[in-house]
């Protein structure tokens, strides 16, 4: 029944009013902060901040839901086609799934790396398995609440939109320069004097990515078996 209800709900989108686009940079657990950013089609930031529980996301997005086009998630939304979710749990040693292809991880990740954008691979031996598992659960949670999700990769978005920008996002000086670049691109942040955290800025880049997708200025890397990652053209 839920998929049908979501179908009806999504049919009500965009009858009037502005369009909105959200980006989420999830952490590996609810004990750590994650980033969330919500922008409109004029690139005005409606919200940028941090969250810990999935329930907080719904509270923040609910007022915009009927006009919210996409939620971009910085993280894998599904395992490789030869692996299961069991491969990313503490009991993974017992499941026995293995990949037999010429590359490890998902095809979309292989294409990212081939295009010059280093990323974590979604493999059963990954040291970020807890983060991977939480990304799966976040995607499930948002879909259950009728949100259209899309996998994005803020690092690639930053490299494509701002190719001359170099540095580490953990450094406040770099983040300050990145915020200026975001402003030059057209993003209107609520507090220009504030230096936002790296997870908040990654969430902003995720939201920008799905806005560009809505504007037909993106491309999808991957296939139906392993999923797609959206990056700007």
Q: Which residues pair with 23 in a beta bridge?
A: 37, 72
Name which residue leads in pLDDT, 125 or 152. 152
Number of domains in the chain: 1
Per-residue confidence (pLDDT) for residue 13, from 0 to 100:
52
Name which residue leads in pLDDT, 79 or 151. 151
pLDDT of 16 higher than 60 = no
Per-residue confidence (pLDDT) for residue 216, from 0 to 100:
97
Distance, in Å, from the CA atom of 207 to the CA atom of 20, rounded to the nearest integer, reads 9
Flag whether 186 is in a domain. Answer: yes
DSSP state of 65: G
pLDDT of 3 higher than 70 = no
Flag whether 87 is in a domain. Answer: no
Name which residue leads in pLDDT, 86 or 30. 30
Flag whether 101 is in a domain. Answer: no
Q: Which residues pair with 38 in a beta bridge?
A: 22, 47
pLDDT of 76 higher than 80 = yes
- The string of pLDDT tens digits covering residues 175-220 is 999 999 999 999 999 877 789 999 999 999 999 999 999 999 999 9
Task: State mean pLDDT over 150-165.
Answer: 96
Distance, in Å, from the CA atom of 211 to the CA atom of 99, rounded to the nearest integer, reads 34
Its domain, for residue 165, covers: 2-80+109-232
Name the pTM for this structure.
0.90
pLDDT of 151 higher than 60 = yes
Flag whether 89 is in a domain. Answer: no
Of 189, 185, 135, 127, the closest CA to residue 157 belongs to: 185
Distance, in Å, from the CA atom of 14 to the CA atom of 25, rounded to the nearest integer, reads 25
Flag whether 131 is in a domain. Answer: yes
Are β-strands 149-152 and 68-74 bridged in parallel, bridged antiparallel, or unpaired? parallel
Flag whether 90 is in a domain. Answer: no
Q: What is the mean pLDDT of the chain?
A: 89
Flag whether 68 is in a domain. Answer: yes
Of 37, 34, 12, the closest CA to residue 23 belongs to: 37
- The string of pLDDT tens digits covering residues 49-72 is 999 999 999 999 999 999 999 999
CATH code for the domain of 6: 3.30.420.10
Residue 41 exposed, middle or buried by CB count within 10 Å (0-12, 13-18, 19+): middle
- The string of pLDDT tens digits covering residues 89-131 is 766 666 777 778 788 889 999 999 999 999 989 988 888 889 9
Flag whether 118 is in a domain. Answer: yes
Mapped to the 3 state alphabet, what secondary structure does 21-51 carry? EEEEECCCCCCCCEEEEEEECCCEEEEEEEE
Per-residue confidence (pLDDT) for residue 11, from 0 to 100:
46
Per-residue confidence (pLDDT) for residue 156, from 0 to 100:
97
């Amino acid at each position: 029944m839920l998929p049908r209800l979501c179908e009806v709900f999504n049919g009500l989108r965009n009858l009037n009013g502005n369009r909105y686009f959200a980006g989420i940079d999830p952490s590996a657990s609810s004990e750590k902060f994650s980033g969330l950013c919500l922008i409109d089609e004029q690139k005005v930031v409606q919200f940028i901040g941090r969250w810990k529980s999935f329930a907080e996301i719904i509270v923040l997005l609910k007022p915009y839901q009927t006009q919210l086009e996409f939620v971009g998630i910085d993280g894998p939304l599904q395992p490789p086609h030869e692996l299961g979710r069991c491969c990313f749990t503490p009991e993974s040693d017992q499941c026995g799934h293995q990949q037999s292809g010429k590359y490890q991880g998902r095809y979309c990740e292989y294409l990212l790396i081939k295009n010059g954008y280093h990323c974590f691979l979604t493999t059963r031996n990954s040291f970020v398995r807890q983060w991977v598992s939480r990304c799966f659960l976040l995607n499930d949670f948002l879909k259950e609440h009728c949100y259209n999700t899309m996998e994005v990769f803020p690092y690639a978005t930053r490299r494509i939109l701002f190719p001359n920008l170099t540095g580490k996002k953990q450094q406040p000086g770099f983040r300050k320069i990145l915020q200026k670049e975001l402003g030059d691109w057209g993003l209107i942040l609520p507090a220009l004097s504030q230096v936002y955290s790296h997870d908040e800025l990654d969430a902003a880049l995720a939201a920008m990515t799905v806005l560009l997708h809505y504007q037909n200025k993106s491309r999808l890397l991957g296939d139906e078996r392993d999923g797609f990652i959206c990056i700007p053209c």
